[in-house]
Chains A and B, each alone.
Chain A
């Protein structure tokens, strides 16, 4: 395995980490409209992810930075090509971050309601758009011999990619509902479990169709294994959720995301961004990657830093391990 292969795996790991972690906090954001009945319940939901959403989002920034360093051509083609959708995602992430931090900083009803609406939409839209983006990456887009994206905005909204968007949206919402059941007490916990079942079933249908479609178009033996693992994990998550084993349910919904994203990367390899115009114009791990020296330095950095990051980020979850209920939300707290 050469270094650029290692970095393909590491980039995959970063995206998997991002979707696993931000997946449930996007989901919780969506649930503020679907699950919460009143303001205290909304606040319970928001506070389950309060201490951690920012750290979760850094997985995306690191995926971006690492792609820039390890596969400059991929970084350049992807972000200049998917220009408008990316702009949309960035706007959402900007508003979302500010919404979390500023919502409770004024007592006015209007102020808080507006930020809550913002949290819902800015969680829902990126959760959908990331799926669309990855659908397009896997399917292949119009890339010319200079590695420039020559398709239009509407080319990105094809049925396969849109289905991919539905998969990430429903899967993240399911993941968020399972997380909510794990992190809350009281009535909201019960309702989160019920909603998890409903959303989970929809997610299962979408995911199954999308992953089979992927397998038929681009799959091989390895991707088939990942597909089976993803589907099995999703079923296991639903069963565990019904049995009230919330920890297991969360582990399995997480495993679903890990396996599904892994499958996408497996079908991609050794391409990083296939061209739909001409196979020889595809960006691959070899023609898009940095020099061996840069990859070597980056590898050292990743090998040392990533475990440390996971250690202290994991510790954060342990510090805030207690469940939250409406009685933990002070009325006077702004």
Chain B
């Protein structure tokens, strides 16, 4: 059989395509749920209309996005059984539990309260309606936690034993699976990156309107909220990334050696800025390096020893038997860099924006603006940036609004492909995980169907997002400003059109 079309290869491509695609929507859903909830909280507390208009605007984009997140998530729940039945048989006892918990605790929460929130504007009193979006937000975070705990178990299996008779892994300590440091660090890293993603999205779209001097009140508020979110999210992403990196040096030295294209162990080990090498020969032809930095990243010590790809490969051969235990080195190396590069670009742009749009006491009197004016971008104390540079900043914010999405995707590609050839590190190899009974034609069919469907839906989704972004925040109606006082809606509204209908 042609190796390129082996069921294992196809199943991996399908998993990669459907999962990376699903994860385009997940971080935006997580962060926009919380940010929309924050804006709605501001509306309920202050009754300033700009907050309600902003809530409706971001809420709409959030809904367009979560719809895709939900439906692409359905595939994830069944894909293990379809394409990875031997994986499912081997790990179901351990891996199934967090998935079931996720469905029972988080999915019901999200899906039920999102319905209440969408249709509840004229059916629920203000504060209860607000509580619904917070419930959705909690649901998204819980969901992320459970599935990341499951993934962490694939990265670093704990709390299980192998039952030789049944030929499977069995759970012995569920609490350990949920709270091992890999799970905590992965959740921390993924959630902060989600907020970096939402922040960049918010800033880019606010910049789009501010550049055109439209919807200034709402977009100024959104801009500040987005910038603060980027700053906090970006900082936490970097910190958690460092923590997770150190854990990976210890738990999956191969992944980190591959991330650095460090072929042979060194003390001190350098951080690679650029490398071009020969995988067959096991060395780099070109390498630009910062001495000692990798040792520091791995062990907080500039002179410590870090094992290389060839060393780990040899060690794993001794432990697990003959074979090639190296992942795809160029993908791991560049995936790692693109993750950091795209993520940090957004972080830097957000920090710059936070400084440029500072207000009040940090700004001289003549540069302060009123509620309905676009803020000046002020780099130094006394003078605003020229119109040309101001425009450049807004444009940069618009053009980079998707950068964290690229960073997230590469982060996952890196961590999943960096674990290869293992599907569960040190326990089960990917080639032993596929469905033996599923034919090449079947996997190929489903891959083509999902890819084509997802591509069509992507076009529809992006067009819809653009339409609603351009439309800006909606005008408020009488009903918006007079929410019901009773659950189920006030009787005075009994014959009025629904505030929201499909």
A residues near B, CB below 8 A?
Answer: 43, 46-47, 50-55, 57-58, 60-62, 64-66, 68-73, 75-81, 83-84, 86-87, 90-91, 93-95, 97-98, 100-106, 146-150, 290-291, 293-294, 297-298, 301-302, 305-306, 309, 312-313, 316, 318-322, 324, 327-330, 333
Contacts and interface: CB of A to CB of B under 8 A. Distances in A.
A64 B319 CA distance: 36
Contacts of A106: 464, 467
Nearest to B123: A319
Given A76-B88, A294-B93, A65 B99 contact: yes
Nearest to B94: A294
Give the secondary structure class of A's interface: helix
Contact of B115 (A73, A105, A148, A316): A316
A313 to B, nearest CB: 5
A97 B71 contact: yes
Given A78-B81, A291-B170, A328-B495, 7 more contacts: A51-B115, A68-B99, A75-B88, A94-B457, A97-B71, A106-B467, A324-B498
11 contacts: A43-B502, A47-B501, A72-B91, A72-B92, A77-B85, A80-B437, A84-B445, A102-B64, A293-B171, A305-B105, A328-B497
Interface in B93-122: 93-97, 99-105, 107-108, 111-116, 118-120
Interface in B37-86: 63-64, 67-68, 70-75, 77-78, 80-83, 85-86
Given A66-B103, A72-B168, A316 B116 contact: yes
Contacts of B435: 76, 80
Contacts of B118: 50-51
Contact of A87 (B82, B108, B488): B82
B208 to A, nearest CB: 19
B78 A290 contact: no
A302 B92 contact: no
The interface centre, meaning the residue of A52, A86, A101 with most chain B CB atoms within 10 A of its CB, is A101
Given A43-B501, A62-B103, A290-B92, A327 B111 contact: no
B70 A69 contact: no
Given A47-B498, A105-B464, A316-B116, A79 B82 contact: yes
Given A87-B445, A329-B498, A68 B81 contact: yes
Contacts of B103: 58, 61-62, 64-66
Contact of A69 (B99, B457, B502): B99
A330 B495 CA distance: 11
B291 interface: no
A52 B81 contact: no
Among A68, A70, A147, A149, which residue has the most Cβ atoms of chain B within 10 A?
Answer: A68
Contacts of A57: 74, 111
B49 to A, nearest CB: 20
Contacts of A319: 116, 120, 123-124, 487-488
B460 interface: yes
A38 B97 CA distance: 47
Contacts of B450: 91
